[in-house]
Amino acid sequence: MPKNIESESDAEEQEKEAEDIEIEYLTEQKKTTKKRRVESKDAKLRKKEAEINQLREECESLKQEYLRQAADKENLRKRLEKEKYDFYQYALSDFLVEILGVLDNFERALESKDQTESKSLEEGVEMIYKQLLDILKKNGVKPIDSDKKSFNPHLHQAFMTEESEDVSEPTVGEVFQQGYTLHDRLLRPSLVKVLTPKKES
């Protein structure tokens, strides 16, 4: 009988030991799982921080690139404005140098007007006039041929009108001020007298 009690006691003790081992095992398992979770969270956190740092670096790089391009663009705009200003300021330099030659000839003619005959002075002025016309033509400025031509409102400005039996349509009778074109564009219209057909009474 005591043996049985001992056996039962042993069995209980063994059962209890088994339970303790199981509890210990489960506790260990929980700790391991928890540790793995913590490690997993730490790894994810480190990965996110690495991604954030990389994005910050990319953002800073893009910001610097944007600022560099904006500065380049501003410098280009300023340079183009300066070039445009210089162009408008000095575009006529070559033309004006040629005009100065005409001015020099006028000054010589005026200085010698008392010493020369009126005919030679007249010839000199005609030569200067021709020189000036040649310079203008070379630069694309041409006089409008208006004398006895049909009146063209795009090229002529009517200063006065007069009825005439000799015309069948409005015609330029007299040019008061010569008009000019620059290449294919009107520079100044001719100021003219327009002859119109006489109205029948």
Please return the burial class of 132, using the count of CB atoms within 10 Å of its CB with bins 0-12, 13-18 and 19+.
middle
pLDDT band at 65 (very low <50, low <70, confident <90, very high): very high
How far, in Å, are 32, 35, 49 from residue 46 at the CA level?
21, 16, 5
Phi, psi of 124 (to 5 degrees): -65, -45
Please write the tens of the pLDDT for every residue from 10-56.
677 777 777 777 677 667 776 676 666 766 777 888 889 999 999 99
Which architecture, in CATH terms, is 143-201? Roll (2.30)
- pTM summary value: 0.56
Q: Which of 19-28, 53-62, 85-94, 179-188 has the lowest mean pLDDT?
A: 19-28
Provide the 3-class DSSP secondary structure of residue 125. helix
pLDDT attached to residue 14: 73
- Spatial distance between the Cα atoms of 170 and 65, rounded to a whole number of angstroms: 69
The total number of residues shown for the chain amounts to 201
**In the chain, where are the structural domains located?**
1-89, 92-139, 143-201
